[in-house]
């Protein structure tokens, strides 16, 4: 992106931030920010109604520093890699803490019931990254299906030009995402069918996708009106909510777009993977904990499924070159970059700051997590 475009983007965001809760100008409250958030920071730093304690380095905040500096704070802005928001943190902060704002959609690092018990509001950043994550979800489906990892490595290592490279009509072939003469129907499956899943589905329609199936939380009520509307809008032959066994059996490409946590931990395990089609592709752009990595590596090695495209992996970022999934040639893995566009990250930072400031002054937070004690 050009410097002019970036300046315009930042100026638009800054104008919005400087208008927040100006009527509280006589109040000064302490807030702790655990990472410099780039161009979203200046309006916050210029505020006269808050005392800002900012972690000074461009790396994850040290917990010892945070526990020392959060004393007496009314609010704290965190990122997922920094720390767990738990009783230890609340004890260090003291009774003034009013809000925890996280620059993320996920909030597994926050003890939400504990926050509710203590009357502490939680802000997060949903919605703003929907389009960016949907984009990369499609990218990974194409990369995994078309053997991008193997093909790119061959070119990068200079092996394509060697005399012993042999080509044949089916060299590098993989399953096509779109429909074709030999495959006139294609079924995409979604584990989780929220905003990002629906945005991903809309991007798949030009590929000729004919059927969509999905599973949702057992506690959620079926939304037949929404499903009928999506089916008509996208001219699909079928759009059905199904059980998890049917999802595994029928999906040509399966997209994991479900929250993390205990309810979805290793939901995709060996038993699930064995039910999938040998030519199917699995894409995970949600949470690494949803997939049993060892089981997926086995499924790829023994060809239970064709390939996998991963933006998230359990245990990240401690993923070394000898990780079972890194060793699998049909696994394409990127380092959790689903929201990594200039526009999206700026929007996330802006939302996180908005949540922080509105929260400490008792205003309406742009994106507040609804809690129950």
Above 90 in pLDDT, residue 227? yes
The mean-pLDDT minimum among 127-136, 161-170, 325-334, 361-370 falls in 161-170
pLDDT beyond 70 at 203 = yes
| Per annotation, catalytic residue among 108, 131, 316, 368 | 316
2, pLDDT greater than 90: no
Is 287 designated active site?
yes
pLDDT value of position 28: 86
Q: Is the pLDDT of residue 10 over 80?
A: no
Averaged pLDDT of the chain: 91
pLDDT at 14 over 80: no
What is the distance between the alpha carbons of residues 123 and 120, in angstroms, rounded to a whole number? 10
Angle 139-144-148 from CA coordinates, rounded to 5°: 90
* pLDDT reported for residue 81: 65
Tell me the C-alpha distance between 287 and 173, whole Å. Answer: 29
CB contact at 8 A, 224 and 193? no
Residue 341: exposed, middle, or buried by beta-carbon count in 10 A (0-12, 13-18, 19+)? middle
299/305 Cα distance (integer angstroms): 6
pTM attached to this predicted model: 0.86
Q: What is the mean pLDDT of residues 27-41?
A: 92
| 261 or 42: which leads in pLDDT | 42
Distances (CA, A) of 37 to 12, 17, 57, 108, 346: 16, 13, 11, 21, 8
Q: For 162-294, list the strands marked E by DSSP.
A: 187-191, 211-215, 238-241, 253-256, 281-284
Q: Answer yes or no: are the C-beta atoms of 61 and 85 closer than 8 Å.
A: no
pLDDT score, position 219: 86
Stated length of the chain: 373
Give the confidence band of 1 by pLDDT, cuts at 50, 70, 90: low
CB 74 within 8 A of CB 96: yes
CA 368 to each of CA 53, 102, 107, 247, 358: distance values in angstroms, whole numbers, following the listed order: 23, 10, 12, 32, 10
Q: Which of 98, 121, 211, 336 is catalytic?
A: 336
Q: Please give the Cα distance from 342 to 353 (Å, whole number).
A: 17
Catalytic residue among 287, 328, 330, 345, which? 287
**Domains plus CATH for the chain?**
3-126+342-360 (3.40.50.720), 130-333 (3.40.50.720)
Based on the residue annotation, tell me whether 68 is a catalytic residue of this protein: no
Tell the burial category of 340 from Cβ atoms under 10 Å away from its Cβ (0-12, 13-18, 19+).
middle
pLDDT at residue 16 is higher than 70? no
If you search the block for the tokens 């939400």, which residue do you land on?
112
Would the CA dihedral through 326, 331, 336, 340 be positive or negative? Answer: positive
Q: Establish whether 368 is a catalytic residue.
A: no
- Distance of CA 61 to CAs 79, 86, 243, 315, Å? 9, 16, 42, 19
């Amino acid at each position: 992106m050009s410097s002019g475009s970036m300046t315009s983007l930042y100026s638009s965001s800054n104008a919005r931030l400087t208008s927040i809760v100006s009527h509280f100008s006589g109040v000064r409250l302490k807030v702790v920010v655990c990472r410099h958030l780039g161009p979203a920071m200046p309006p916050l730093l210029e505020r006269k109604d808050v005392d800002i304690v900012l972690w000074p380095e461009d790396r994850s905040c040290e917990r010892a520093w945070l526990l020392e500096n959060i004393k007496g704070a009314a609010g704290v802005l965190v990122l997922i890699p920094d720390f767990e928001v738990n009783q230890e943190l609340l004890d260090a902060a003291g009774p003034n803490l009013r809000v925890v704002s996280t620059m993320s959609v996920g909030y597994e690092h926050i003890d939400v019931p504990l926050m509710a018990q203590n009357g502490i509001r939680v802000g997060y950043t949903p919605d703003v990254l929907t389009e960016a994550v949907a984009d990369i979800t499609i990218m990974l489906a194409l990369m995994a299906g078309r053997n991008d990892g193997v093909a790119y490595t061959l070119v990068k290592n200079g092996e394509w030009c060697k005399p012993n490279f042999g080509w044949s009509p089916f060299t590098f072939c993989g399953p096509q995402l779109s429909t074709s003469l030999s495959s006139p129907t294609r079924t995409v499956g979604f584990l989780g069918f929220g905003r990002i899943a629906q945005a991903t589905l809309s991007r798949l329609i030009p590929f000729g996708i004919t059927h969509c199936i999905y599973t949702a939380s057992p506690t959620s009520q079926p939304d037949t009106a929404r499903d009928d509307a999506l089916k008509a809008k996208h001219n699909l032959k079928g759009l059905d909510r199904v059980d998890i066994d049917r999802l595994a059996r029928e999906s040509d490409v399966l997209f994991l777009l479900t929250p993390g946590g205990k309810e979805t931990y290793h939901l995709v395990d060996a038993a699930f993977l064995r039910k999938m089609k040998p030519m199917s592709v699995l894409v995970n752009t949600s949470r690494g904990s949803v997939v049993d990595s060892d089981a997926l590596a086995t499924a790829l090695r023994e060809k239970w499924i064709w390939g996998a495209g991963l933006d998230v992996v359990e245990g990240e970022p401690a993923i070394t070159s000898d990780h079972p999934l890194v060793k699998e040639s049909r696994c394409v893995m990127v380092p959790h970059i689903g929201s990594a566009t200039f526009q999206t990250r700026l929007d996330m930072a802006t939302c996180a700051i908005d949540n922080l400031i509105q929260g400490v002054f008792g205003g309406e937070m742009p994106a507040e997590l609804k809690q129950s004690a």
